[in-house]
């Protein structure tokens, strides 16, 4: 007889909420860290980045996912906030968001030992926009520059840097290296997405965020005149050859009925990874649409965590266990 798993058993973990890890331009960024209580000295770490089209939501939408993972597996879980395009009066740029998630990985590597995390065993994951951000870490963690997007070649200056180190020194050490990635229904080509009208009113996420549409790099830039900026934040256009940089094993997931990020687009990304010598697996959630990992219920999308997420999370746990525990 199959034993039903608990979605959340607080007796199995400790949680430290709203840890301040950076304050770029006075904007406080926080994360929650959940640690298993099974008695190990250290655990591999799973870092989660929420979705929301880079415009809406925060880490709370991943609360149930975080608790499910730490209840049913042996990983420290970090649930991370980053800035949104609509923040600071609708002035944040997409490269700044990427710099936030890059910075969070560097902070975690320096501090996760305090929460029983092993900083040599990190997996990044996220859904939708969070899948894109996770892919940026995996593909472009060496594309760092103290000048950020202010000069060419375009690079990223992480929001948080280890004391005494420059972005270039972190890149030289491959300081953003992670050991696994789980990318769920992510958007991997921001160049193509922007050409299709992401920066226009037809993208309802601007309305939902309470902001007027504008260029994701500011009002002075657009995808036609500044294509290099949009291509620089597109993981699918920046997959390194495995002979130059070997990427970690990745699991790509999609909902079979997802019309926002289609299974075809995710499988195409998988083929692109494999064509350049990288290992990627694919799993499709049957009869599910977009955002099947989100907490609580979403009437618009017809999602409910208890119905949609556990099966997908069990697949993710099996993948993580294969990466981090299979040798034992």
Domain membership of residue 2 (yes or no) is no
Domain membership of residue 221 (yes or no) is yes
Domain membership of residue 1 (yes or no) is no
Which positions ≥6 away from 248 have C-beta within 8 Å? 138, 177, 178, 179, 180, 181, 323
pLDDT, tens digit, for every residue of 22-59?
999 999 999 999 999 999 999 999 999 999 999 999 99
Per the DSSP assignment, residues forming a β-bridge with 303 are 298
Q: Residue 6: how many CB atoms within 10 A of its CB?
A: 13
Domain membership of residue 62 (yes or no) is yes
Q: What does the alpha-carbon distance between residue 31 and residue 8 come to, in Å, rounded to a whole number?
A: 19
Cβ-count burial of 238 within 10 angstroms (0-12 exposed, 13-18 middle, 19+ buried)? middle
Residue 301 has pLDDT above 80, yes or no: no
Residue 302 has pLDDT above 80, yes or no: no
Domain membership of residue 228 (yes or no) is yes
3 state DSSP class of 162: coil
Cβ-count burial of 248 within 10 angstroms (0-12 exposed, 13-18 middle, 19+ buried)? middle
Mean pLDDT of 275-281: 98
Q: What does the alpha-carbon distance between residue 303 and residue 155 come to, in Å, rounded to a whole number?
A: 37
Percent of the chain exceeding pLDDT 90 equals 95
Total domain count for the chain? 1
Domain membership of residue 4 (yes or no) is no
User: Secondary structure of the chain: what % helix, strand, coil (to 5)?
Assistant: 35, 20, 45
Residue 328 has pLDDT above 60, yes or no: no
* CA angle, residues 65, 82, 196, in degrees to nearest 5: 90
Domain hosting residue 178, numbered range: 10-324
Confidence at residue 296, expressed as pLDDT on a 0 to 100 scale: 85
3 state DSSP class of 207: helix
Residue 1 has pLDDT above 50, yes or no: no
CATH number, residue 241? 3.40.50.1820
Q: Which of 65-74, 78-87, 258-267, 297-306 has the lowest mean pLDDT?
A: 297-306
């Amino acid at each position: 007889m199959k034993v039903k798993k608990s979605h959340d058993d607080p007796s199995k973990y400790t949680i430290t909420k709203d840890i301040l890890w950076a304050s770029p331009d006075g904007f406080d960024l926080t994360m929650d860290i959940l640690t298993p209580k099974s008695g190990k000295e250290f655990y591999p770490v799973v870092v989660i980045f929420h979705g929301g089209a880079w415009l809406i939501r925060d880490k709370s939408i991943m609360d149930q996912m975080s608790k499910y993972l730490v209840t049913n597996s042996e990983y420290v879980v970090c649930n991370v906030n980053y800035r949104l395009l609509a923040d600071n009066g609708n002035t944040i740029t997409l490269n700044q968001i990427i710099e936030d998630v890059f910075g969070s990985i560097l902070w975690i590597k320096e501090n996760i030992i305090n929460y029983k995390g092993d900083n040599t065993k990190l997996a990044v994951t996220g859904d939708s926009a969070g899948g894109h951000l996770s892919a940026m870490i995996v593909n472009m963690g060496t594309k760092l520059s103290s000048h950020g997007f202010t000069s060419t070649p375009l690079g990223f200056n992480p929001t948080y840097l280890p004391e005494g180190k420059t972005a270039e020194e972190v890149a030289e050490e491959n300081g953003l290296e992670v050991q696994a990635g789980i990318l769920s229904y992510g958007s991997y080509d921001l160049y193509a997405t922007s050409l299709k009208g992401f920066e226009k009113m037809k993208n309802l996420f601007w309305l939902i965020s309470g902001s007027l549409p504008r260029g994701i790099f500011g009002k002075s830039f657009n995808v036609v005149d500044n294509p290099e900026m949009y291509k620089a934040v597109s993981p699918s256009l920046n997959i390194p050859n495995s002979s130059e940089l070997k990427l970690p094993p990745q699991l790509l997931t999609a909902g079979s009925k997802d019309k926002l990020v289609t299974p075809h687009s995710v499988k195409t990304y998988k083929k692109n990874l494999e064509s350049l010598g990288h290992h990627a697996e694919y799993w499709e959630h049957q009869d599910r649409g977009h955002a099947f990992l989100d907490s609580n219920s979403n009437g618009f999308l017809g999602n409910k965590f208890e119905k949609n997420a556990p099966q997908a999370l069990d697949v993710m746990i099996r993948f993580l266990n294969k990466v981090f525990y299979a040798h034992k």
